[in-house]
Chains A and B, each alone.
Chain A
Amino acid sequence: MKLLIFLLSLCLTAPVLAQDSMPPAPYAYRQLDDPAQEAKALELMQTLRCLKCQSQSIADSDAPMAGDMRHQVRTRIAAGEEPEAIRAWLMERYGDYVSYKPQISATTWPLFAIPVLLLLVAGLVLRRRLRARS
C-alpha cells in the first residue's frame, strides 16, 4: 500500500517538474548570417540584463526568456535597427534596470560628478602644498 501511494505521488509530481516545453525561439541560439550584424547583436546582448536571472546578461543566460530576448535583438538588428534604439526600446519597458551600460540620468549624475570633483579638490590641495614648500 505504501509503495502504491509512493508510486501514485510520483505520478503527481511529474507535471510539477515539467518546464516550458516549447523549442527555443529561432534566433535564441542561432547566429545571424552576416558576421558584422552578429557582432553588433552580441555586443548589445552582453550589456542587457536577463530579467529572470538578474545577475546574468542575456548573452550568458539559458533561461527561455533570455532566449526570446536574444531572438528579439537579433531579428531587430537584422531588420536594420540600431543597437542603441533596441536598448532604448527595452528601457522604455523595464527602466534603467535592464541595461548594464551606465547612463547619466537624474539619479546617477552624482556617481559621475563626485570623482571629478574629488580630483579637482585633490589637485587644488596639492598645488597649494607645493607652492607653500617652494
Chain B
Amino acid sequence: MTRIRWTLWAPLAIFGAFVVLVGYQLTQPAQTEVESAMIGKSIPEFDLKPAFADRPGLASADLRDGQPKLLNIFASWCIPCRVEAPQLEQLRRAGAPIHGVAIRDRPEDVAAFLAQYGNPFTRIGADDLSEVQLGIGSSGVPETFVVDGEGVIRYQLIGDIRPEHVPLLLEKLQELAR
C-alpha cells in the first residue's frame, strides 16, 4: 500500500523540482555577450585597405610578425568606442602595439573620429563588409583581441576597455612576449 503512495507523489515532486529550477533560472541575468570561439585559433587570412589616409591598411601578415599585439575592433559611429579612447591611449603609451579594424566606416568619419579622440593605432584596416569581424568571431564594437606573435588569438575583451582592464591587457601582452 505504501509503495503505491510513493509512486503517486513522485511525478508531483519531479514537477515541483522543475518549477523551482525554472524559477531560479528566471531570476538569473541572461547572458547577452557572445564570446568568440576563435580563442586559441589562428586569425584567418585577410588584407584590408587603409581606413583613412594617415595609416596603412591591415593584413593578417601584420599580426604574424613575432610580436604580440592588441587588435581593436572599433567604428566612428560607436559610442562606447569614444569612452575607451583614453584607455587605448594609455595602453599605447605603455608600449602596447595596437592595430585597428574600422567596421563599416567612411574614411572621412574615421579621420574626424581619430582627430577628436586620439589615434593609438599603428595600422587601421577598413572592414566594410564585416568580413574580418565575422572571421574572428567578434559580434560587436568595441572589442579588443590579444593576438600573439604567430597570429593566434589569445584573449577577447568584449565591450569598451575600462581603466581596470588596462593592466590586465598589458599583463596578457607581457605573458605572450616571454
Residue ranges of A at the interface with B (Cβ–Cβ < 8 Å): 16, 18-22, 25, 51-52, 54, 64-65, 68-69, 71-72, 90-95, 97-98
Q: Mark B62-82, 1 if CB is under 8 A from A, else 0.
A: 000000000000010101000
**Contact of B77 with A52 in the complex, beta carbons under 8 Å:** no
| Inter-chain pairs besides A21-B77, A22-B105, A22-B128, 15 sampled, C-beta below 8 Å | A18-B77, A19-B77, A20-B77, A21-B109, A25-B130, A52-B140, A54-B32, A68-B133, A69-B134, A72-B129, A93-B137, A94-B36, A94-B37, A95-B35, A98-B34
> Contact: A68 with B134, CB < 8 Å?
yes
Please classify the interface of chain B as helix (H, G, I), strand (E, B), loop, or mixed, using the class held by over half of its residues.
loop
| CA of A21 to CA of B35, assembled, Å | 27
CB-based contact B129/A93 at 8 Å: no
Let me know if A93 and B105 touch, CB within 8 A: no
Smallest beta-carbon distance A40→chain B, Å: 19
Which residue of the partner chain B has the closest CB to A91? B37
Cα A72 to Cα B34 in complex, Å, equals 19
State in angstroms the CA–CA spacing of A97 and B129 once bound together.
22
Instruction: Indicate whether A97 sits within 8 Å of B34 (C-beta atoms), given known contacts A18-B77, A52-B139, A64-B104.
Output: yes
Q: Could you name 12 residue pairs across A and B whose Cβ atoms are closer than 8 Å? A: A19-B77, A20-B104, A20-B105, A21-B77, A21-B106, A65-B133, A68-B104, A68-B129, A90-B134, A91-B37, A94-B137, A95-B34
Q: Main secondary structure on chain A at its contact with chain B?
A: helix
Residue B135 CB within 8 A of the other chain: yes
Q: Which 5 A-B pairs have the closest CB atoms?
A: A93-B137, A51-B139, A68-B130, A22-B104, A95-B37
B131 interface contact, C-beta 8 A: yes
Contact between A22 and B139, CB atoms less than 8 A apart:
no
